[in-house]
Structure 1
């Protein structure tokens, strides 16, 4: 995450603190913000803490953000000698009768394209209308939650008329061999076939990936070319790397070769993830069971995370650790989904599903029974479960998973104008 740079000269804690605990999934419908710059001026410690929560959210990864303790005068002094950012967030206690005129020094030094969000203490509809008419992008009444501020910023900078970004779903196993890849592949196939939705399945396990085997494909190119040549990565290049498996499903296969070391830095997969979001409504990511900088970055970025586990003690421990780690990586997102797989394997000691879920304090998204014949037949023929037996309970489970993981939300409010109109009006006075 981008660090927040503070320029703090004094403290003021006389503003009431908003309860800023987010409900699970409260920001689910908010899309990641583009590469913009934000400078916030805070009077109170409460607002500084809100800005910290805002900066820590994964949707702010591309945002360059600075927080300064101060009000209108501090903002005017700052921008008299430096360029203004894309967005100024200004907390103020000014009286509604003088606020508009008090903003004049700031208007004189701000670029016309700069957007401004004012956070005041007066719930005054007349003031709100005056500020909107004069080019302020938004007026919010303190105390304010980080989620409300995020939604306001998104409404300004994310075009509601633009083509929506694709949904990204990452699957990871709590332990090797739990069937996470099988779950991911069947869900990708289900999403593409049930909803006739263009879906891309990307195998991120470059040395040992199985997506090519599971779909009976042998592509000459795939994800390795995308990751090792990010400068060439665009829609045209991606289209050349994809292998069509069905009318609506394409795979980005792993090389599954040990001819090199697959060591990646934290941001290695970010250009690919961004391109996948622009290229298809749904991207399913088959993430290997490793814990590294790059897997943490991938899991922090995606819209949904699905953990697959089997009912034994090691999986219980690992699942608990994953849930705790992902809660820190994704503080404003709902908890990951959990699929309990291979339940009821003969002669294997198992933890009862109820006892497995109780210490995790999470409800399972699905419980899939062990069916060696069904899964073995699908694996050996390079086909999915629904192709082998569409009427089986397991096929119905994958159908339900596909429905849950592809939920959509409503569009956002329209944008508001920037500070340009405000400047023009003040100059005429």
Structure 2
């Protein structure tokens, strides 16, 4: 059971934190906090109600910000291992000052109950992670590491962002507050639109000096989604990418990987500088193709280039989008051309367009349809990392057949035995 101490919290926030299950919570009024601070008796303040040193200290919003930060500095000096939190509006300036005072997390006064529960649970997990240096090597090896999943496609219009956003929703539901989606299609990213989000910050802020220097500030630029994950949204200006270097992208992914179990990166079409940088950090890659000849052949070329650059991680998943039996191709045709097995076939469905226009995730529907079920299989493939298998040997394309000819006739279906007249 985690020991939580609330200092100078309003009645509302104190009541909400006290209602969280699995924690022992004590609170101290603002006047008593100020008295102990003036007397320099922080040790007594920290132990007066719990009877022991707290593991999490939350400084409430009943106290002026500067005074709260001063007390936070005193607590950080006396008890540097504590998870110190602050109830405040999480703007960049506050985040920077809070970081200097030893605050590890800023909680908005408007936080929802689900978000509050996730934040406190994450703080408890952080406490456990500090025990890693004291654990036996075999135990440390069993602790889950972050997984960076990069979603790519050689061409636009194949539903890559739809798959990336729904994958993030699926991972967020499996591991609440432990997944983040990065919209790295810096010029024309639309993840926020597909998820019906109106973010206050974008990826442009994440590449700023303050965010690059401190992960706590970076986290204030993330937008929470009801699906249980966070989003680093794209920017409205397509010129932002002109100032972003490959090193910036890799540093950003490293920062997020230090904070989240799953980092899903939605990239722009093709193999631009930012996509290649993300692939350098990838643990898994999802290659998205639609079920048409030009897209499939482009995927094969993209895989060849990435193999030459040694940028294909061992774990690779091909997502065949807009799968249609009447397309004139079969899944086996696709696998033969690209040289990799198709991990999941996502059927063509008008529900995808409707959901995208409404900003709704198919994965959150009460009755999941065939598209959601297909993406769930993709979530299964990446969730908690199945031991990587050796990548299959490339399959050379056969002599010109239907798959090479855009005018090819549909594959013939097997007919049942004809009855004798």
TM-score (norm. length: structure 2)? 0.55
Aligned mate of 1:315, from 295, 301, 306: 295
After superposition, the Cα gap between the structure-2 partners of 1:329 and 1:246, relative to the gap in structure 1 and judged at 3 Å, is: farther
Given that 1:230 and 1:271 are in contact with CA atoms closer than 8 Å, whether structure 2 keeps it comes out as: no
Aligned mate of 2:209, from 204, 207, 229: 229
CA distance in 2, matches of 1:294, 1:352: 33
After superposition, the Cα gap between the structure-2 partners of 1:328 and 1:158, relative to the gap in structure 1 and judged at 3 Å, is: farther
Residue 169 in 1 paired to residue 155 in 2? Answer: no
The equivalent of 1:367 in structure 2 is 345
- The alignment covers a number of residue pairs equal to 252
CA distance in 1, matches of 2:368, 2:225: 22
**What secondary structure is seen at the aligned counterpart in 1 of 2:333?**
helix
The equivalent of 2:265 in structure 1 is 285
**What secondary structure is seen at the aligned counterpart in 1 of 2:242?**
coil
Residue 357 in 1 paired to residue 340 in 2? Answer: no
Given that 2:171 and 2:379 are in contact with CA atoms closer than 8 Å, whether structure 1 keeps it comes out as: yes
Unpaired runs of 5+ residues, structure 1, are 1-155, 411-429
Deviations 1:139-190 (A, max 9, x none): xxxxxxxxxxxxxxxxx99993796431110101231110011001001101
CA distance in 1, matches of 2:367, 2:309: 37
After superposition, the Cα gap between the structure-2 partners of 1:281 and 1:328, relative to the gap in structure 1 and judged at 3 Å, is: same
The equivalent of 1:398 in structure 2 is 375
CA distance in 2, matches of 1:161, 1:317: 40
Given that 1:203 and 1:223 are in contact with CA atoms closer than 8 Å, whether structure 2 keeps it comes out as: yes
The equivalent of 1:205 in structure 2 is 185
CA distance in 2, matches of 1:379, 1:333: 30
Aligned mate of 2:252, from 262, 272, 277: 272
Deviation of 1:199 (Å): 0.6
**What secondary structure is seen at the aligned counterpart in 1 of 2:247?**
coil
Given that 1:368 and 1:394 are in contact with CA atoms closer than 8 Å, whether structure 2 keeps it comes out as: yes
After superposition, the Cα gap between the structure-2 partners of 1:232 and 1:303, relative to the gap in structure 1 and judged at 3 Å, is: closer
Q: RMSD of the TM alignment (CA)?
A: 2.8
Aligned mate of 1:326, from 289, 293, 306: 306
Q: With CA pairs under 8 Å and 6+ residues apart, which has the higher RCO, 1 or 2?
A: 1
Residue 196 in 1 paired to residue 173 in 2? Answer: no
**What secondary structure is seen at the aligned counterpart in 2 of 1:267?**
helix
**What secondary structure is seen at the aligned counterpart in 1 of 2:152?**
strand
Aligned mate of 2:223, from 215, 236, 243: 243
Residue 255 in 1 paired to residue 235 in 2? Answer: yes
CA distance in 2, matches of 1:409, 1:312: 30
**What secondary structure is seen at the aligned counterpart in 2 of 1:399?**
helix
CA distance in 1, matches of 2:204, 2:139: 33
After superposition, the Cα gap between the structure-2 partners of 1:358 and 1:274, relative to the gap in structure 1 and judged at 3 Å, is: same
After superposition, the Cα gap between the structure-2 partners of 1:198 and 1:395, relative to the gap in structure 1 and judged at 3 Å, is: same
Deviation of 1:279 (Å): 0.7
